[in-house]
Amino acid sequence: MPYEFLKGHGTENDFVLLPDLDGTVHGELSPDEMAERVRALSDRRAGIGGDGVLRVVRGSRADADWFMDYRNSDGSLSEMCGNGIRLFVRYLVDAGLADGSAPIPVDTRDGIKTLTLDGDLITVDMGTPKVLGETTVGGEGITWAARHVDMGNPHAVAFVSTLDEPGSLLQPPVHDPGVYPEGVNVEFVVRRGERHIAMRVHERGSGETRSCGTGACAAMVATAVADGDRPAGQDVAYRVDVSGGTLTVTWTADDRVLLTGPAVVVASGTTDL
């Protein structure tokens, strides 16, 4: 039976969005059936194409009306998606399901995130980062030292001399399964100037993507820690350039990370994939 979909992106990190407000459209699928549907929708040649799928459902908590059911393009579950949740809220506001003049709470597998709108830009409070130990990642015969940062999902941030250094990123970078038993998002970062970095990212379950919101946050936090630029009584904001655009990441004086960037819906329709 055909069902509704939308397509959109945040700095070209693109998603298929599935409105399922009362849970009757996709909610009866088994986990394996839902994973198969996500893979079909995400396929860039035989489907609609995307880095993942956002399912919009009513929340079950009193303090959040909506839940973001997010899956990577391979069908696997993910705890959080910083670009995806901005697109999720853009849809809610455009569809008249949320009031964009006030903060909007959205439940996720990493807890409730609060988003605010300012024109074309949407800011999400990503919560308190966990700056963990050193690890290593590798690829194409090279090994890099990396910082383990948890933004609700796992990240390894490695500093490189140029963004070409990691190579094609067609395969997941090698990582320590003892540190990351469920896989890891890997960010390769270069410094562009004062509080200005650029990055490439290989996302767990999706491959290299043109942007990663949680990854931009992890990259900013790892850079600030490495440079001794952690908040000390005032907010610290970095520009983060990704392949699909620019994000702003702010580490606040009260130890929260705020991610700001655009999110746009570019298409809608019906499908029976």
Catalytic residue among 56, 80, 81, 247: 81
Rounded CA-CA distance 245/243 in Å is 6
How does pLDDT run across 158-213, given as a tens digit for each residue? 999 999 999 999 999 999 999 999 999 999 999 999 999 999 999 999 999 999 99
Q: Is 212 designated active site?
A: yes
- Of the candidates 88, 94, 95, the residue with the CA atom closest to the CA atom of residue 57: 88
The active-site residue, picked from 212, 219, 247, 259, is 212
* CA–CA gap between residue 56 and residue 75 (Å, rounded): 16
Q: What pTM, to 2 d.p., does this model score? A: 0.96
Q: How confident is the model at residue 150 (pLDDT cuts 50, 70, 90)?
A: very high
Distance CA 52, CA 193 (A): 32
Q: Which of 178, 174, 189 is nearest to 221 (CA)?
A: 189
| pLDDT grade for 140, boundaries at 50, 70 and 90 | confident
Q: At 1, is the pLDDT very low, low, confident or very high (cuts 50, 70, 90)? A: confident
The per-residue pLDDT for 119 is 95
Give 3-state DSSP helix, strand, coil % of the chain, rounded to 5. 15, 45, 40
Contact 39, 273 (CB under 8 A): no
Query: What is the mean pLDDT of the segment spanning 232-260?
Result: 97
Active site residue 217: no
Instruction: Please provide residue 50's backbone torsions phi and psi, each rounded to the nearest 5 degrees.
Output: 175, 165
Mean pLDDT of the chain: 97
pLDDT tens digits, residue range 60-69?
Answer: 888 999 999 9
